[in-house]
Structure 1
């Protein structure tokens, strides 16, 4: 049960007779249905807030209730609230770090962030580190409030004392009860590597149209390392990227070129925020952010649907009589999504704007069957 639509709108279900009431979802999936006898709005499909409203604080599903015969349409908004049904998770459950035994105590190494699609208190709240006295955990707060875990060397390493260190990074959310996710960190102690790679800039920004061809280079990230030999060879990898973005974008580990490997779609994702890591042969690293803005092109035609219509009309019907209800929608944005509607053919009807994207077709003058 979602709501008593009939009661809220003052509809008397038994008195409607042959007049049909329909629920029309704006999306492609019918999430709600109307119980014909009670007038109750009920769920028709399982609703997953994280799937429907990524990164949105307020998740609202919209649908319309259409009363055929009366040519009436009512807008319905249903807010989907969050429950703690997801645990924090790491993109990689295991991480290998190779550190020189000459690494200075206090050195910091960025760790992969956990992701929890839940909202507010149910989302990721804290990190914990366990596994030894040589390392501690520091958590930095990014400009957007995100928590970024860093491994801190608390005590000098000695390869002759211990060649490996096994650590566990735990991410915890704020639900009741809370949920956790873990990642294992294996630190291998090596000999000296004095210099870490350094990116040419901390942030890279690029704007591309959504119809950019597959295989196109969007941006090239560049980092340099002052060391020689294997310790100075830089390799690139994604440090922070979603599963969907990994299907769309490719990073060349040697050149730093980020290319398109699947078609971009502005209507699906209009911007991408990535983090790229450059690491050398000794696993010292630097990170840089990449912002890719996808711009809209007019690649969607307007979709027009006759939501309701009469099959006949009397010639003595007064001017302004409603004969059809039409819905029009264009998935593009801005000027590309603005739709103009008109009637062709010199017929004795005109269009009138109704609720949001709805138009009513009404008689423009008195009709004469003999003409």
Structure 2
């Protein structure tokens, strides 16, 4: 069964060195039934604290948490009807897999026959039908993570919360478990909140992503929307790779702005949520894969300072000629057999189509 979730002005503050410190501040969020929503951000941004408040492990200093139409802000965690998948699995090492999954049902005092039926169904969902008589230490990390998920699914929770559940797995297992978790969530139409600092996990698994920074929401949107139309420099730099060029907005026509970057005027889309003003500082954002080598009507003069051969592509590191270069920029271009690498120190033009660039307020 799926359920909607609403956060209204949720804050969590602490007293640190006699000063008030906000771990989470004024978070407002509406989660739709059956939605997979990811909390994404760096360590210390408030994403896990937000999840723990929703679960009932921490109490908000201010605000309300609504599960459907019910205010659960002060209701104990065990009465909220939510399932929590922990980062470290939290399995009982002395219990067999069957008993680990059955634990919550036994606490509810359900009948033995019903427990057996539900446990077998839950283990089948995660592909561990033959592991019920084994112990956790006899399973791989990925299998233990599946058991932790089955232990939650068997209780048929209204909402599933996951706190970086794949962080202890190797890269190949993480990729496999992403697919499995998403498959199960869609098949059962579960409402799921997922915490991670891994942008690839967020982009590949989510219906929507909430990007957090310093306890506040930077932007909420679909993976494609966040990637193509970041609202802030933080979101642009945190979601994927991004080149951030500094300039001055010269003019605006339709949805495009003309920006001066180090003496070159280039055209790009105006940001929807945080556009620059004419005559003011502008931030031009272009993804590395959208830059091409060659002269066009929309190009910047650049100097190559490094190059990385990656097999099918070449990642060129460069600086803007006569521009502000807080850090090296990146341009990723296809490598065609029979071509040679451009030498370091080369000066050339890096071009992009206007729709591939976004202009934000750079004040």
Shorter-chain TM band = under 0.3
Radius of gyration: which is bigger?
Answer: 1
TM-score (norm 2): 0.23
Q: Hey, which of these two has a bigger chunk of strand by percent?
A: 1
- The higher-RCO structure (CA 8 Å, 6+ apart) is 2
